[in-house]
Structure 1
Amino acid sequence: MKALVVRKEGDEKPVAAVEEITEDMLPEGDVTVAVEYSTVNYKDGLCIGPGGGLVRKYPHVPGIDFAGTVEASEDARYAPGDKVVLTGWRVGEVHWGGYAQKARVKADWLVPLPGALSTRQAMAVGTAGFTAMLAVMALEDHGLTPENGPVLVTGAAGGVGSVAVAILSAKGYEVAGVTGRPETADYLKSLGATQIVAREDINETVKRPLEAETWAGCIDAVGGPMLARVLGQIKYGGSVAAVGLAGGAGLPATVIPFLLRGVNLLGIDSVMRPYEDRVRAWAEIAQSLPMDKLETMVQPATMADLPKLGSDILKGQVKGRVVVDVNA
């Protein structure tokens, strides 16, 4: 079977190439899945290329998410023929992942695929869309409704941002998308954004800890100075769901928004998320994400495309969602 294998010799840079591997090379696990589709995420770019401290041992098969059909199972919860999806659990990082025609994983890591979704649609959603849904759920669990006002999405043209814009719009929210790429404005509007905010307009910290109350909530994929700035623009009692750090891990902020406006900063982790949350999120995705809009985000790819795509996503040059057909 085919797999994208990353090899590293000594201090040399990792090299990724499509190779033929055998099933006995797969890691231990309860369930063997015939993989149909995977995706490309920022972590995948790291694992294909520099490693980023995520890959512990080479040779390695990246791919932090996949969807496919159970081929063999030692766990009663899954039987051959079941459609499943996997995101997180360090798969594709410390455990071989989805960039192969078969994967062997622990049953606890899998989620039954909702009947309304195909495996291809599941990977058009992927880890990025799953994370976006978790963020929307967290904001709504903290009281966000469309009547509260506009919701800001930073890094809006990226994978998480694109799906977040589409979900929020479909739920009736007024959505403002932040992007540093003006050419993506029409794309974001097609997903449902009603306002485009230029990155440079919101990317710098200001001396004032509070600005005008502008946003009822925010899904932030950027972090750094932009997140600090957004916190000072959130309406009283509003929340920010933090999902990424494309703009840096630091947070040059004050506690004033938390103390004077009751703002909530909600951390969103998709890797170790409990099973019940995963089932709820995938059910919400099947119900709330417009599949026609999802399809407009998709860039099809094969395993042969992955080395370049891994490099491109680290440079911020990938728009929307990449769906990798591992059997093409």
Structure 2
Amino acid sequence: MKYQALVVDEIDGTFVKTIKTLNRKNLPDNEVLIKVEYSALNYKDALSASGHKGITRNFPHTPGIDAAGEVIESKSDLWKAGDKVIVTSYDFGMNTAGGFGELISVPAEWPVRLPSGWTTRDAMIMGTSGFTAALALYKMEENRQHPDMGPILVTGATGALGTASIALLKKAGYNVIASSGKESAYGDLEVLGADEIISREAVDDQSNKPFLSPKWAGAIDSVGGNTLTTILKAAMANANVAVCGLVASPEFSATVYPFIIKGNNLLGIETATCPRWVREKLWENLSGKWNFSLPQHMIREVGLDQLETEIERMLSGKSFGRVILKHQ
């Protein structure tokens, strides 16, 4: 059985992306074989496709941490041919061949059932970005976050996670402050549900002050670095700050004051090893009470031959909204 995939090769220290026709024997011998209908492009995929050894150790490799499609073979009682499934998280797309291939082979515990009423395209519009936003809100609310506490800040607002977070928070009844360096996108952020939009610089305090005037009751942050430091300085009492990314830097400097004086909480959001029961609950929420939609112009559907361009756009900070991959 042959299939096409975007393959990243390491050649003399340079990482080269090529669309290749592969054979099923190129896949690992796992329990469930799935024909991928849709995948999506995430920042982690862009890093993997560029040779980031912190994401993917061995090459050649097919990235794609998101996939939705149909089971065509199963060695497990959990799944049968014809089942529609979503695959995200675990090691998928990092060191296991991912959704940028038309076929994937994964352990039986990795897929979750496609929610009733959804298409595989719907699932990938949500994808890891929607799931990450949902996990962030879930952990915040487990820690007693509530809309009445005040607005939630979303940084990196024009990225896939940012747009999903804004739409999700608005659906869940929160007021949202969106931070972005792309003034041209402010109108779109308002359409998504942002109640207030501030510049990137407004969340980049350069003073040595331990506190700033309280501005938000929580945050979903994908930027890290000094942005995260500033978020903590300007957080209200008992704020929950969900840490989801490191676009600016994996390092930040902070005092203990926000934690011991204001009772702030720093919540780590890690989707890869999220327990299966939580994973199933969150997909249920995303297809139910938290089901949000993105404007169609914020969704770009591409083929394998367009992925390399989209990867470069994402790495250069020019990507906006959601990029989904349709396999033929």
Q: Same fold (TM over 0.5)?
A: yes
Aligned to 1:4: 6
Q: Could you tell which deviates more after superposition, 114-123 or 54-63?
A: 54-63
Unaligned stretches of 5+ in structure 2?
none
1:161 partner SS: helix
Whether the 8 Å contact between 1:32 and 1:102 is mirrored in structure 2 is yes
- Using the TM superposition, give the Cα deviation of residue 15 of structure 1 relative to its aligned residue in structure 2, in angstroms: 1.0
Take 1:292 and 1:108, find their aligned partners in 2: how far apart are those partners? 28
Whether the 8 Å contact between 1:156 and 1:179 is mirrored in structure 2 is yes
2:240 partner SS: strand
CA deviations 1:42-69 (Å, max 9, x no partner) are 1111222233432222221111110001
Aligned to 1:260: 261
Amino acid at match of 1:2: Q
Take 1:140 and 1:249, find their aligned partners in 2: how far apart are those partners? 25
Take 2:292 and 2:267, find their aligned partners in 1: how far apart are those partners? 27
Aligned to 2:221: 220
Q: Share of identical aligned residues, percent?
A: 36
Whether the 8 Å contact between 2:167 and 2:292 is mirrored in structure 1 is no
Take 2:5 and 2:190, find their aligned partners in 1: how far apart are those partners? 37
2:14 partner SS: coil
- Using the TM superposition, give the Cα deviation of residue 230 of structure 1 relative to its aligned residue in structure 2, in angstroms: 0.8
- Using the TM superposition, give the Cα deviation of residue 316 of structure 1 relative to its aligned residue in structure 2, in angstroms: 1.4
- Using the TM superposition, give the Cα deviation of residue 193 of structure 1 relative to its aligned residue in structure 2, in angstroms: 0.3
Q: Does 1:57 align with 2:69?
A: no
CA deviations 1:71-117 (Å, max 9, x no partner) are 11011111111111111112111111111111101111111111132
Take 1:108 and 1:297, find their aligned partners in 2: how far apart are those partners? 32
Take 1:65 and 1:300, find their aligned partners in 2: how far apart are those partners? 14
Unaligned stretches of 5+ in structure 1?
none
If asked which structure has higher relative contact order (CA below 8 Å, sep 6+), I would say: 1
Q: Does 1:75 align with 2:76?
A: yes
Whether the 8 Å contact between 1:68 and 1:84 is mirrored in structure 2 is yes
- Using the TM superposition, give the Cα deviation of residue 294 of structure 1 relative to its aligned residue in structure 2, in angstroms: 5.7
Whether the 8 Å contact between 2:192 and 2:294 is mirrored in structure 1 is yes
Amino acid at match of 2:141: E
Take 2:235 and 2:54, find their aligned partners in 1: how far apart are those partners? 34
- Using the TM superposition, give the Cα deviation of residue 149 of structure 1 relative to its aligned residue in structure 2, in angstroms: 1.0
Cα distance change of structure 1 residues 321 and 229 upon mapping to structure 2, 3 Å threshold = same
Report the TM-score, using the length of structure 1 for normalisation: 0.96
Amino acid at match of 1:148: M
The alignment covers a number of residue pairs equal to 326
Q: Does 1:170 align with 2:187?
A: no
Aligned to 2:314: 313
Q: Could you tell which deviates more after superposition, 157-166 or 84-93?
A: 84-93
Q: Could you tell which deviates more after superposition, 256-265 or 12-21?
A: 12-21
Aligned to 1:159: 160
Q: Does 1:84 align with 2:74?
A: no
Take 1:196 and 1:47, find their aligned partners in 2: how far apart are those partners? 31
Take 2:172 and 2:44, find their aligned partners in 1: how far apart are those partners? 29
Cα distance change of structure 1 residues 267 and 205 upon mapping to structure 2, 3 Å threshold = farther
- Using the TM superposition, give the Cα deviation of residue 205 of structure 1 relative to its aligned residue in structure 2, in angstroms: 3.5
Take 1:6 and 1:238, find their aligned partners in 2: how far apart are those partners? 42
Whether the 8 Å contact between 2:166 and 2:193 is mirrored in structure 1 is yes
Aligned to 1:273: 274
Alignment of 1:131-146 (within 5 A): 131-146=132-147
Take 1:44 and 1:321, find their aligned partners in 2: how far apart are those partners? 13
Aligned to 1:34: 35
Whether the 8 Å contact between 1:124 and 1:294 is mirrored in structure 2 is no
Take 2:219 and 2:270, find their aligned partners in 1: how far apart are those partners? 16
Cα distance change of structure 1 residues 93 and 120 upon mapping to structure 2, 3 Å threshold = same
Alignment of 1:101-116 (within 5 A): 101-116=102-117
2:260 partner SS: helix
Amino acid at match of 2:134: M
Take 1:170 and 1:178, find their aligned partners in 2: how far apart are those partners? 19
CA deviations 1:160-199 (Å, max 9, x no partner) are 1100100111111110100011111011100000100100
Take 2:243 and 2:291, find their aligned partners in 1: how far apart are those partners? 23
Runs of 4+ in 1 over 4 A off after TM superposition: none
What's the C-alpha RMSD, in Å, of the aligned pairs? 1.3
CA deviations 1:294-324 (Å, max 9, x no partner) are 6453111111111121122111111111010
Alignment of 1:292-303 (within 5 A): 292-293=293-294, 295-303=296-304
Whether the 8 Å contact between 2:171 and 2:292 is mirrored in structure 1 is no
Whether the 8 Å contact between 1:212 and 1:233 is mirrored in structure 2 is yes
Whether the 8 Å contact between 1:62 and 1:99 is mirrored in structure 2 is yes
- Using the TM superposition, give the Cα deviation of residue 12 of structure 1 relative to its aligned residue in structure 2, in angstroms: 3.3
2:7 partner SS: strand
- Using the TM superposition, give the Cα deviation of residue 204 of structure 1 relative to its aligned residue in structure 2, in angstroms: 2.8
